[in-house]
C-alpha cells in the first residue's frame, strides 16, 4: 500500500506491481512500467511504498487506458491517490490493471490492481487477491422464479410463485404517485383520490364474501391497492382474473361520484384525527427535520384538512388523470397460482393490456368526464376492431411533464398536432427517480452547496405530553443497490456491527442504575424516502439525559475507534450464517404478503431480488472473505456520525490522508439531530404525570424516526408551534417546573471533547450451559421419568399420537404437563411455551412486600436480570445469540408465559432446553433488576396517564370493576412497597413444576425431543403439590350514572376524541344451560331472555367451571331436509360442544365489526376507526366487551351513539345468513392460513392438560373447523341475546383533547 500527497512536482513516477501469489504479501515483483497522465497534473510524491522499487520512469499518456472514475469498486491492496482535480473531473488516465473510485472531498482516487494475466502468476493460476476481486465483482443471482415484464402500454408487472398460504395469492397494484408529487394546493389529494377510487369500486366491493380482503394506502412515493384472495371462489371460479378486474376498475375506471367524494372527505378527516397522537407528532417533527431540504418534510400523505374540504370533483379528476395511467403503474402478483407463470402473464395482459397508453400533452379530464363511461366506450370501440378506442382514451387521460405529471416530454403539442405540423407526442412515462426529491447526504465534501455542513444544529421539539428525553441523530446516505457479491459482503459486515453495538449497549444497561432507558442503532434503506438512513436514538429520564448521551457516545466511539474483537466477529458471523441457513430452509414457508413486500421494497431500492437459498449460498461465499480489518474499516465509516459529532472536518482530513482506513463512502456525519423534550419536570428533574390513573399494559415505545410516515398531517406541524407557545406560556403544573435544556448543552454532551475510550474486552462464551458431567449427576440424583396421562377414561404413560390432530401428550414425574406437535411450518425451527397458572390475578391486593404488582414486576425483573445458574447475563445472551435461541418472558391477567424460539439443528434445541432447565431450577434474582423493573413500570404509568385512549379505557374499567385493579398497573405507592424477597416469594409460589404446562411445536425429531424433555425438564426440582393460587374475585359494579357514563378532557395543543363502550359478556367456556333462555338440550325460549335472566346467567358464568361430563361428539351440520327430532338432536349436540361459546362469540364479533364499519364509518362518515371485541379468558370466569371509536370532538358523541345503535339494532335487524356466511369465510380463511404458523399452534395446544381449564380437550382441536361450518344464525342470535345493552347496563367514556374543553363550552 502506498500513500501520495501534494508537493511541488511537475511529474509523477508510477510503477505497476503484480505480486507473486506464493510470495509474502508484502513482497512485490516489478513486472512492467507504465506512463500515466493525471489530466489535472497534480504534483504528487510517493511517501512510502514497501512493494515498489525505485527507478526513474518517464511520464507519457498511455494509448488505451481511459478510466471512468465513477465506475469500479474498492478492492484489497488499495492504493490511495489524492487528486487536486477540477470539480468536474469525470475521467482519469490510469495504467493497465488498475481500477478505482473517486470520492467527493477531497477528490480522492482509491485504486486497486486488477487481475494479472495468467502468464504473470506462478503456474498460470490466480492469486488470492485476484480471486477475491473476481468474487466480489460477480453479480448476485436473481430469483429464478421471478417474472417481470412490461405491457405494450407501458404498465409493468412482477410475478412470483409462492406456496404459503396454499391456494391463495396477493395482488398489489402500485401507482407511482404519492404525497411528494402533490403541488402546494394539492396536499392530501393523493390520499383522497386513493379513498375515492378504492371505496367507490363496485367490483372491489363484490369481492367481499369470497374470502378476499382488500385495502389501500398512500405513502410519500406511491399509492397501493392490494387484495388478498383465494385462488378459487365460492362457486369454483378462478379468482385471479376477477381480482385483476377489480384492481383495474379501482385504478383506471373509477366513478368519482359526488356522494362518494363527500363520504371520503369525512373519512380522511376522521383518519387525521385518529392519528393525531403525541407519538404521531413526534414522527412529524423527526421527518420535518430529517428532510428539511426537500418536499419529504412538507408533503405528508394525510395532507391539509382545509384543502381536503375545498377540492372539487374536477380537481380530483385532473390529479387522477395526471398520475393514473398504465406506464405509471406496477402490478405485483405473489402466491400459490397452481399454474405456469405464463398463464398469469396472459391474464394480466388480457385485463390491463387493453388500456391504451396516453401521450404527453393530452388534455386532463373535465368535471363532466366519467372514467367508467370512457372505459366502456373504448372497450366497445376495440370490439369493433377500430383504432378510435386509443384516441378516445388518450384524449381524455392526463397530461405530461409540462403539466406537472409524470414522464418526459416537451411542450403541449395538441393544437399543432391537429394541424399536422408536429409529430405524434411521445407516450407518457413515470419519473425515472422515485421519489422525485434531492437529498443532502452525510458524507464526502463539506461544501454547503453539495452536502450537509459540519456540526448540524440541534432541532428541539417540546410538548407537555412528552415524558422522556429522546435524542435522535440521523445520517442520510445514498442507497447502495445490492447487485454484486461485494455489496452483499458489505451488508453482512454491517449486520455484524449493528449486532455487536446493541450487545454492548445491553451490557451497559444491566449495570446498576443505568442512566438511559434505551439506546438503539439502525441502518436501513428507505424506498419511500429515496435514501438510506442511519439512526441513533437515545431515550432517558430527563434528569439522566447527560449520562445517557455519554453512554451512547462512548460506545459509538469505542466501535468507531477500536472496532470489534476477533471473538465478537466470529460469534456473530456464525450466528448470522446459522440464521441465514434456517431462513433458506424456510424459503417455501414465508407468507406471500411478506414475500411481496420484500420484493417491492427491494426492486424500489434497485436491489437484485434473490431467493433465500441463493442468498444463503452467496452469503457463505462472502463470509469466507470477511476479515477483522475490513469490518473495523467499515466501523470507522459507519459509526463516525454518532461518535464524532462536531468533529467532521477532522475526520474528512483523516480520511484524505489515509483513505484505506475507511470503507465505503468514507466517514459519515450527522445530517440532522432532533431533541424531543418534555415541557415540564418535577423539581428534581424527573418526569411528571398529568391526568388519570394509569391503564393496564402501559408501555409506550419511542417513535421510530423516519420509518413511520404513512399518515402524518402537516397541518398540525404548522399550527403546533403557535399552540405550543400558548401551552408553555401557561404556568407549570403543581410541583413542576419548565424543563429548560439549552441546545448548547446537548451539543457539548455530543461532542464529548476529551473523551477517550479503551478497547473492548472479549467475553468468555460458554459452549454449553450444563456440562455432560452436570447433566449425568442431575439424571442420577433426580431420576426423571414419564408419568401416566389421562386419555378419555384411561391412563397411559406413552399415549400415541392423536390421529385427528397430530398432538402428543406427556406428563413428567415431577408434575410438568407436556403437549407437542411436529410441524414443518418453519423447517429446522421450533417454539417452546412454558405456562404457569396465576398471572396478575394471583397478586395480593394492596401495598406490601409481596403485594399488588409483585407478579408483573417480578417477571420483568427476571427478564432484566437475564442470568441463570453460574452464568452472567452477557454470557447467557451471547450463548443464545450464538445458538439462535430467542427467549421472551411476560405475564398477563391469567398466566406467566415464557416463549423460547430455537433452531433444531447444530445443537440449537439442546441449547434451548439447557437454558430452560437453569431458568426453572436456578433463576438468578438481582436487586438492580428489580429497581429497573420498577422504574420501567413507573415510566409506563406516567406515559399512559397522558394518553387519551388509555386513560379513557381505565375510566371504563374503574367504573366496571371499582377498586379491583388487577387489570391495571401498580401505583407508585404499591411499587415502592415491593421488595426483592417479597417478589421472589410470590413468583416462587407460582413458577414450579406442579403449576406448569409446556407446549412444543416445530420441525424436530420426536424421539430427540422426548429425550430432552426427560433430561432437562424432568430433572427440574419437583414441587408436586401446587400451592393454592391466590385469586381475588371480581365483581361488576352498578355505579351512579355520572360514573357509568363519563366525559373527560385532556389539555393538549391538538383536537382529538375517542369513545369507549363496555359491558359484561358471556365467558368462552361453559355449558349451554348456563345461558339465559336455553335449557340443557340447547332449546331456546326467547321470551325468557330478560335483563334479570341475563344477569343471573352471567352470575352462573362466574362460578368455577366443573369437569367436562361425557365424551365430546363431533358436530353435525343441519340440512334442509331432516326430521324435527333429528334437527333438535343435532342442535343439542352442537350447543353442548365445549367450543360452542368460543366459536359463536368469534362469529358475532366479526359480524358486528362489519356492521360498525358499514354504518359508522362508511355510511355516516363519523369515524375512520371503530372496532368491537370481547375478552376471551380461559380461567377467569368473567368477561366483557369493548367498543372503541375515534372521531373529532365535534362528532364524537354522534359516533358513540351510532356505535351503540349498531350494537342494539342487531335485535331489530336480525343477522342474515349472508352475513354469517361472510363471517365464516373470513374466520375459516384466517384459520387455514394461521395453521402454517407455529405461534398459532402453540395457542391451540395451550391448556390442553391444564386442570384449571377442564373443557379444553383434544376434541376441541379436532372439531374447530367443523364448529365454524355448522354454526347457524340462531346460534349467533342466542349468544347475542346474552348481552345487556341498556343504558343502565353498559359503561361509556368519551375523552377529548384540545386547548378548549368542549364539555365546558356546551355547559356555557
Catalytic residue set: 194, 264
How many other β-carbons are positioned within 10 Å of the β-carbon of residue 21?
17
By the 10 Å C-beta count (0-12 exposed, 13-18 middle, 19+ buried), 445 is classed as middle
1070 to 271, 806, 1090, 1255: CA distances (angstroms): 40, 26, 20, 8
Q: Which residues pair with 329 in a beta bridge?
A: 175
Strands 458-463 and 672-678: parallel
CA distance 1117 to 1127: 9
Long-range contact pairs involving 66-70 (C-beta distance under 8 Å, separation at least 24): 66/91, 66/93, 67/91, 67/92, 67/93, 67/94, 67/98, 67/99, 67/100, 69/100, 69/101, 69/102, 69/109, 70/101, 70/102
CA distance 249 to 268: 21
CA distance 347 to 275: 39
Q: Which residues pair with 760 in a beta bridge?
A: none
As a whole number of angstroms, the longest Cα–Cα distance in the chain is 112
Q: Which residue is it, cell 396477493?
A: 170
The helix/strand/coil state of 733 is coil
Phi, psi of 854 (to 5 degrees): -65, -40
CA distance 933 to 975: 10
Q: CB-side exposure of 1189: number of CA atoms within 13 Å?
A: 32
Nearest to 1243 by CA among 993, 899, 992, 1013: 899
The helix/strand/coil state of 344 is helix
Strands 66-68 and 672-678: unpaired
C-alpha cell at 1063: 359491558
Q: Which H or E element spans position 984?
A: helix 980-988
CA distance 491 to 298: 32
Residue 175 near residue 328 (C-beta atoms within 8 A): yes
Omega before 963 within 30 of 0, i.e. cis: no
CA distance 542 to 471: 11
Q: Which residues contact 735 (CB under 8 A, 6 or more apart)?
A: 682, 683, 688
CA distance 1000 to 808: 10
Nearest to 406 by CA among 329, 346, 462: 329
Angle (CA) 1017-1019-1020 rounded to 5° is: 70
Residue 934 near residue 859 (C-beta atoms within 8 A): no
**Running DSSP on this structure, what letter comes out for residue 139?**
B
Nearest to 1055 by CA among 281, 276, 285: 276
Q: Which residues contact 264 (CB under 8 A, 6 or more apart)?
A: 192, 195, 196, 199
Phi, psi of 937 (to 5 degrees): -70, -35
C-alpha cell at 1269: 361450518
CA distance 374 to 391: 11
Nearest to 227 by CA among 235, 236, 612, 241: 241
Residue 850 near residue 983 (C-beta atoms within 8 A): yes
1101 to 1018, 1067, 1145, 1283, 1290: CA distances (angstroms): 37, 7, 15, 13, 18
The helix/strand/coil state of 60 is coil
Question: What length is written for the chain?
Answer: 1308
Amino acid at each position: 500500500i502506498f500513500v501520495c500527497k501534494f508537493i511541488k512536482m511537475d511529474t509523477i513516477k508510477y510503477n505497476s506491481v503484480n505480486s507473486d501469489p506464493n510470495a509474502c504479501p508484502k513482497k512485490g515483483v516489478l513486472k512492467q512500467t507504465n506512463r500515466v497522465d493525471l489530466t489535472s497534473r497534480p504534483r504528487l510524491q510517493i511517501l512510502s511504498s514497501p512493494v515498489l522499487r525505485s527507478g526513474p520512469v518517464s511520464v507519457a499518456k498511455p494509448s488505451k487506458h481511459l478510466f471512468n472514475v465513477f465506475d469500479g469498486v474498492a478492492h484489497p491492496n488499495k492504493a490511495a491517490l489524492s487528486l487536486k482535480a477540477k470539480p468536474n473531473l469525470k475521467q482519469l488516465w490510469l495504467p493497465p490493471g488498475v481500477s478505482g473510485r473517486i470520492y467527493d472531498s477531497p477528490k480522492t482516487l482509491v485504486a486497486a490492481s486488477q487481475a494479472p494475466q495468467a502468464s504473470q502468476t506462478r503456474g498460470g493460476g490466480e492469486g488470492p487477491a485476484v480471486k477475491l476481486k473476481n468474487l466480489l465483482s460477480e453479480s448476485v443471482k436473481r430469483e429464478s422464479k421471478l417474472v417481470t415484464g412490461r405491457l405494450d402500454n407501458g404498465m409493468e408487472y412482477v410475478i412470483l410463485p409462492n406456496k404459503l398460504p396454499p391456494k391463495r395469492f396477493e395482488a398489489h397494484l402500485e401507482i407511482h404517485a404519492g404525497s411528494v408529487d402533490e403541488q402546494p394546493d394539492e396536499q392530501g389529494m393523493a390520499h383522497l383520490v386513493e379513498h375515492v377510487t378504492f371505496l367507490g369500486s363496485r367490483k372491489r366491493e363484490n369481492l367481499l364474501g369470497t374470502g378476499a380482503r382488500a385495502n389501500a394506502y398512500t405513502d410519500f412515493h406511491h399509492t397501493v391497492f392490494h387484495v388478498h384472495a383465494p385462488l378459487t371462489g365460492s362457486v369454483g371460479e378462478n379468482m385471479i382474473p376477477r381480482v385483476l378486474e377489480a384492481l383495474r376498475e379501482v385504478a383506471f375506471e373509477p366513478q368519482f361520484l359526488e356522494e362518494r367524494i363527500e363520504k371520503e372527505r369525512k373519512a380522511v378527516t376522521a383518519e387525521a384525527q385518529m392519528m393525531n397522537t403525541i407519538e404521531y407528532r413526534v414522527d412529524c417533527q423527526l421527518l420535518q427535520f430529517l428532510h428539511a431540504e426537500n418536499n419529504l418534510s412538507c408533503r405528508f400523505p394525510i395532507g391539509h384538512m382545509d384543502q381536503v374540504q375545498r377540492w372539487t370533483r374536477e380537481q380530483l379528476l385532473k390529479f387522477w388523470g395526471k398520475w393514473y395511467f398504465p406506464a405509471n403503474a406496477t402490478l405485483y402478483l405473489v402466491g400459490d397460482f397452481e399454474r405456469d407463470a405464463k398463464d398469469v402473464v396472459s391474464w394480466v395482459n388480457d385485463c390491463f393490456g387493453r388500456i391504451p397508453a396516453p401521450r404527453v400533452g393530452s388534455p386532463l379530464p373535465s368535471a363532466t368526464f366519467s372514467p367508467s363511461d370512457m372505459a366502456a366506450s373504448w372497450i366497445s370501440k376495440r370490439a369493433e376492431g377500430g383504432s378510435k378506442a386509443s384516441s378516445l382514451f388518450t384524449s381524455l387521460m392526463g397530461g405530461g411533464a409540462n403539466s406537472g405529471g409524470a414522464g418526459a416530454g416537451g411542450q403541449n403539442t395538441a393544437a399543432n398536432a391537429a394541424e399536422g405540423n408536429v409529430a405524434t407526442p411521445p407516450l407518457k412515462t413515470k419519473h425515472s427517480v422515485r421519489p422525485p426529491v434531492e437529498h443532502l447526504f452525510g458524507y464526502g465534501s463539506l461544501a454547503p452547496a453539495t452536502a450537509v455542513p459540519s456540526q448540524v444544529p440541534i432541532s428541539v421539539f417540546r410538548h407537555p405530553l412528552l415524558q422522556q428525553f429522546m435524542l435522535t441523530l440521523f445520517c442520510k446516505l445514498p442507497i447502495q443497490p445490492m447487485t454484486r457479491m461485494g455489496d452483499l459482503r458489505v451488508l453482512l459486515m454491517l449486520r455484524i456491527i449493528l449486532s455487536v453495538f446493541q450487545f454492548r449497549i445491553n451490557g451497559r444497561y444491566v449495570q446498576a442504575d443505568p442512566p438511559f432507558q434505551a439506546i438503539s442503532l439502525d441502518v436501513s434503506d428507505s424506498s419511500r424516502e429515496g435514501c438510506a438512513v442511519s439512526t441513533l436514538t437515545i431515550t432517558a429520564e430527563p434528569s439522566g439525559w447527560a449520562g445517557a448521551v455519554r453512554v451512547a457516545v462512548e460506545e459509538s466511539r469505542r466501535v468507531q475507534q477500536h472496532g470489534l474483537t476477533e471473538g465478537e466477529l466470529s460469534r456473530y458471523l456464525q450466528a448470522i450464517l446459522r440464521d441465514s441457513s434456517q431462513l433458506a430452509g424456510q424459503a417455501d414457508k414465508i407468507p406471500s404478503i411478506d414475500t411481496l413486500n420484500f420484493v417491492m421494497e427491494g426492486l424500489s431500492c434497485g436491489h437484485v431480488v434473490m431467493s433465500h437459498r441463493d442468498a444463503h449460498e452467496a452469503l457463505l461465499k462472502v463470509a469466507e472473505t470477511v476479515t477483522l480489518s475490513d469490518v473495523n474499516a467499515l466501523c470507522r465509516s459507519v459509526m463516525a456520525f454518532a461518535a464524532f459529532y462536531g468533529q467532521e472536518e477532522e475526520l474528512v482530513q483523516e480520511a484524505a490522508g489515509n483513505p484505506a482506513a475507511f470503507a465505503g463512502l468514507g466517514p459519515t456525519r450527522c445530517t440532522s439531530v432532533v431533541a424531543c423534550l418534555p415541557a415540564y419536570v418535577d423539581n428534581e428533574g424527573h418526569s411528571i404525570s398529568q391526568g388519570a390513573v394509569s391503564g393496564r399494559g402501559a408501555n409506550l415505545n419511542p417513535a421510530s424516526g423516519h420509518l413511520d410516515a404513512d399518515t402524518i398531517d402537516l397541518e398540525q406541524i404548522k399550527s403546533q408551534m403557535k399552540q405550543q407557545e400558548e401551552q408553555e406560556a401557561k404556568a407549570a403544573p403543581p410541583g413542576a417546573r419548565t424543563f429548560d435544556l439549552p441546545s448548547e448543552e446537548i451539543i457539548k454532551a455530543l461532542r464529548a471533547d476529551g473523551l477517550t475510550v479503551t478497547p473492548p474486552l472479549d467475553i468468555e462464551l460458554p459452549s454449553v450451559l450444563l456440562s455432560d458431567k452436570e447433566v449425568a449427576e442431575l439424571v442420577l440424583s433426580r431420576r426423571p421419568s414419564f408419568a401416566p396421562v389421562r386419555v378419555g377414561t384411561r391412563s397411559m404413560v406413552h399415549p400415541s399420537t392423536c390421529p385427528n390432530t397430530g398432538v402428543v401428550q406427556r406428563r413428567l414425574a415431577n408434575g410438568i404437563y407436556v403437549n407437542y406437535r411436529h410441524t414443518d411450518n418453519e423447517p429446522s425451527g421450533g417454539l417452546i411455551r412454558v405456562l404457569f397458572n396465576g398471572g396478575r390475578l394471583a397478586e395480593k391486593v394492596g401495598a406490601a412486600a409481596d403485594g399488588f404488582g409483585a407478579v408483573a414486576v417480578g417477571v420483568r425483573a427476571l427478564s432484566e436480570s437475564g442470568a441463570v445458574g453460574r452464568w452472567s447475563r452477557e454470557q447467557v445472551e451471547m450463548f443464545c445469540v450464538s445458538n439462535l435461541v430467542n427467549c421472551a418472558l411476560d405475564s398477563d391477567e391469567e398466566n406467566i408465559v415464557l416463549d423460547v424460539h430455537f433452531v433444531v439443528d447444530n445443537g440449537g434445541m439442546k441449547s434451548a432446553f439447557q437454558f430452560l432447565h437453569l431458568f426453572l431450577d436456578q433463576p438468578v434474582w438481582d436487586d438492580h433488576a428489580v429497581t429497573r423493573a420498577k422504574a420501567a413500570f413507573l415510566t409506563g404509568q406516567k406515559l399512559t396517564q397522558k394518553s387519551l385512549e388509555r386513560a379513557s379505557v381505565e375510566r371504563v374499567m374503574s367504573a366496571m370493576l371499582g377498586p379491583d385493579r388487577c387489570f391495571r398497573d401498580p401505583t407508585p405507592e404499591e411499587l415502592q412497597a415491593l421488595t426483592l424477597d417479597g417478589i421472589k416469594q410470590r413468583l416462587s409460589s407460582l413458577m414450579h413444576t406442579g403449576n406448569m404446562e409446556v407446549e412444543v411445536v416445530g420441525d424436530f425429531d420426536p424421539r430427540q425431543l422426548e429425550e430432552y424433555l426427560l433430561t432437562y425438564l424432568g430433572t427440574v426440582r419437583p414441587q408436586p403439590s401446587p400451592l393454592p393460587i391466590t385469586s381475588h374475585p371480581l365483581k361488576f359494579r352498578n355505579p351512579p350514572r355520572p360514573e357509568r357514563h363519563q366525559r373527560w378532557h385532556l389539555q393538549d395543543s391538538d383536537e382529538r376524541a375517542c369513545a369507549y363502550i363496555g359491558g359484561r359478556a358471556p365467558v368462552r367456556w361453559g355449558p349451554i344451560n348456563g345461558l339465559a333462555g336455553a335449557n340443557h338440550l340447547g332449546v331456546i325460549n326467547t321470551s325468557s331472555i330478560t335483563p334479570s335472566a341475563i344477569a343471573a346467567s352471567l352470575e352462573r358464568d362466574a362460578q368455577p367451571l366443573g369437569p367436562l361430563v361425557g365424551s365430546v361428539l363431533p358436530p353435525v351440520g343441519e340440512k334442509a331436509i331432516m326430521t324435527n327430532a333429528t334437527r333438535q338432536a343435532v342442535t343439542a349436540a352442537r350447543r353442548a360442544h365445549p367450543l360452542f361459546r368460543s366459536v359463536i362469540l368469534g362469529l358475532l364479533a366479526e359480524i358486528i365489526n362489519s356492521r360498525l364499519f358499514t354504518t359508522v364509518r362508511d355510511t355516516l362518515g363519523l369515524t375512520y376507526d371503530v372496532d368491537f371485541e370481547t375478552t376471551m379468558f380461559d380461567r377467569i370466569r368473567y368477561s366483557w366487551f369493548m367498543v372503541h371509536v375515534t372521531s373529532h370532538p365535534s362528532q364524537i358523541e354522534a359516533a358513540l351513539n351510532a356505535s351503540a345503535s349498531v350494537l342494539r339494532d342487531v335485535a331489530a335487524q336480525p343477522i342474515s345468513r349472508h352475513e354469517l356466511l361472510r363471517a365464516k369465510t373470513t374466520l375459516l380463511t384466517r384459520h387455514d392460513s394461521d395453521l402454517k404458523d407455529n405461534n398459532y399452534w402453540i395457542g391451540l395446544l395451550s391448556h390442553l392438560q391444564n386442570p384449571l381449564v377442564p373443557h379444553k380437550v383434544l376434541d376441541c382441536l379436532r372439531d374447530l373447523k367443523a364448529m365454524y361450518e355448522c354454526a347457524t344464525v340462531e346460534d349467533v342470535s342466542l349468544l347475542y341475546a346474552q348481552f345487556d345493552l341498556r343504558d343502565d347496563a353498559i359503561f361509556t367514556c368519551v375523552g377529548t383533547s384540545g386547548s378548549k374543553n368542549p364539555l365546558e363550552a356546551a355547559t356555557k
